[in-house]
């Protein structure tokens, strides 16, 4: 949409026309010490709490109090199968089939479990390709996998870098790396949406490029799940992982999601770490049976699930279900486009948006680079009532989340930024 207008009345008009506007009331919005709502644009770090979350968790606390161990089978939502309550909607959100998705463990733990199965180095083909500015945890994880297998973690890591003077990674450079070094690369492991720039990578293109050279391809979708249409099944990726505490609003440090493409669903020869929750559900409690692998993503589970964390995820996925993920994507593009329009309208030569301007190459995050700025600028914004994210050396990350941010939020944020910059 290019016919955005300046002024507060236009923002109010957009909110009036927004069919998802009422969802903001379904979230707890943080307030300042005077009781005024803050402008919360930090869903890319921690999503806000849905008001129903407390009830969902309380239900499980009640069942635990009243039923004890019987809650596994007699609870309102029996704990034995609790992870299955999340699968269908989570699969819709990430564009996968239910057999390809499971919620378990935490993000980097799942990344390691996936690499146990899918990183199969040989003396000739052992290198791992990641984007140069990957989230630090991803870099640490793949370096440790290289060391674990006896390889040098510097020599074995190939970085897909942005060109000199540019912020965004370029696909021609990726093609060139794979063309020249593809035979040495065992695993291509890219962040689906880059945490710093907000660039949403073309997962299908990357998976095709990697597979063409015989590499396994996986994605860390921490900044993508609940934010962009990942279409993981169609991407053809071998695996993906994501957290649920950012755009999926499930609370700090909550569980992670895991995708394993259905072509691997029945491959019992894949090396993996196992536990009793990846064993056949029908015979799981016959404790002396030999291990019998569950098909699909569930076959990577280890332990029985932490119900209280899953209850918070269940609350969140039910909000997603009510809103409709396609509707959220539509609003996200409009809301982020409006935000971009307002930032550009400042006509400030010191400000540059480093996130792609093509709506299909980004989610709701805009990374705003401010020349010669330091953290002091971010602190002033915070004092003015805007909760955003600072990334060294000079970038403010803001995520107008379609579930709980309004067009007026975005308008007010830019007005406050204008004031702070003029001080």
pLDDT surpassing 70 at residue 178: yes
| Sequence-separated (6 or more) residues with CB below 8 Å from residue 402 | 20, 328, 329, 331, 332, 335, 364
In a domain, 236, yes or no: yes
pLDDT surpassing 90 at residue 398: yes
256-270 residue pLDDT tens: 999 999 999 999 999
363-380 residue pLDDT tens: 999 999 999 888 888 999
**Tally of structural domains, the chain:** 2
Q: Are residues 272 and 335 located together in one domain of the fold? A: no
Of the given ranges (46-50, 54-58, 419-423), which has the lowest mean pLDDT? 419-423
The token duo for 267 is 């491959």
The whole domain housing 416 covers 8-51+325-422
Phi (first) and psi of residue 141, to 5 degrees: -65, -45
Phi (first) and psi of residue 304, to 5 degrees: -65, 145
In this prediction the pTM is 0.95
In a domain, 207, yes or no: yes
To the nearest whole percent, how much of the chain has pLDDT over 70?
A: 100
Q: How many CB atoms lie within 10 A of CB 422?
A: 7
Average pLDDT over residues 273-294: 84
How many Cα atoms occupy the beta-carbon half-sphere of 112 within 13 Å? 16
Among 273, 292, 321, the domain-final residue is: 321
65-86 residue pLDDT tens: 999 999 999 999 999 999 999 9
Mean residue pLDDT across the chain: 96
Q: In this structure, are residues 47 and 248 in contact, taking their beta carbons and an 8 Å threshold?
A: yes
Q: In this structure, are residues 231 and 222 in contact, taking their beta carbons and an 8 Å threshold?
A: no
What is 204-218 written as a DSSP string?
A: HHHHHHHHHTT-EEE
Q: Are residues 249 and 151 located together in one domain of the fold? A: yes
**DSSP strand pairing (127-131 vs 101-104):** unpaired
Average pLDDT over residues 326-355: 97
The CATH number given to whatever domain includes residue 394 is 3.90.1150.10
Average pLDDT over residues 234-257: 98
Average pLDDT over residues 268-290: 86
Q: Are residues 128 and 21 located together in one domain of the fold? A: no
pLDDT surpassing 70 at residue 99: yes
pLDDT surpassing 90 at residue 56: yes
Average pLDDT over residues 125-148: 96
pLDDT surpassing 70 at residue 382: yes
pLDDT surpassing 80 at residue 116: yes
Q: In this structure, are residues 130 and 218 in contact, taking their beta carbons and an 8 Å threshold?
A: no
């Amino acid at each position: 949409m290019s016919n955005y207008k300046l002024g507060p009345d236009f923002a109010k008009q957009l909110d009036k026309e927004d069919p998802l506007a009422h969802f903001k009331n379904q979230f707890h919005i943080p307030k300042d010490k005077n009781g005024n709502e803050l402008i919360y644009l930090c869903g890319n770090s921690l999503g806000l709490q849905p008001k129903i979350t407390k009830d969902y968790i309380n239900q499980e606390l009640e069942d635990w109090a009243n039923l004890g161990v019987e809650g596994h089978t007699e609870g309102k939502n029996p704990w034995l199968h609790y992870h299955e309550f999340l699968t269908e909607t989570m699969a819709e959100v990430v564009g996968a089939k239910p057999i390809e998705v499971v919620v378990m463990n935490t993000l980097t733990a799942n990344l390691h479990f996936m690499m146990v199965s899918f990183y199969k180095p040989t003396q000739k083909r052992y290198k791992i390709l990641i984007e140069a500015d990957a989230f630090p945890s991803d870099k640490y994880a793949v370096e440790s996998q290289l060391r674990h297998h006896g390889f040098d973690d510097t020599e074995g890591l190939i970085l897909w870098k942005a060109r000199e003077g540019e912020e965004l990674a370029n696909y021609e450079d990726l093609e060139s790396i794979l063309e020249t070094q593809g035979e040495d690369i065992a695993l291509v492991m890219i962040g689906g949406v880059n945490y710093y720039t907000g660039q949403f990578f073309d997962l299908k293109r990357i998976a095709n490029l990697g597979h063409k050279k015989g590499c396994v391809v996986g994605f860390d979708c921490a900044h993508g799940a609940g934010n962009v249409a990942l279409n993981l099944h169609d991407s053809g990726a071998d695996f993906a992982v994501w957290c649920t505490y950012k755009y999926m609003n499930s609370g700090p440090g909550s569980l992670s999601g895991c995708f394993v493409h259905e072509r691997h669903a029945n491959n019992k020869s894949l090396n993996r770490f196992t536990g009793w929750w990846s064993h056949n559900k029908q015979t799981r409690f016959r404790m002396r049976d030999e291990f019998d692998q569950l098909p699909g993503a569930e076959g990577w589970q280890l332990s029985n699930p932490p119900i209280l964390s899953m209850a918070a995820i269940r609350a969140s996925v039910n909000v997603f279900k009510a809103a409709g993920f396609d509707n959220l994507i539509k609003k996200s593009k409009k809301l982020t486009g409006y935000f971009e329009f307002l930032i550009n309208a400042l006509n400030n030569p010191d400000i540059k948006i480093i996130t792609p301007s093509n709506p299909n190459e980004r989610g709701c995050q805009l990374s705003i680079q401010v020349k010669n700025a330091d953290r002091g600028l971010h602190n002033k914004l915070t004092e003015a009532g805007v909760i955003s994210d600072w990334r060294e050396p000079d970038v403010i990350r803001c995520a107008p989340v379609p579930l709980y941010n309004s067009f007026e939020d975005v308008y007010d944020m830019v007005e406050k930024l204008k004031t702070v910059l003029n001080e």
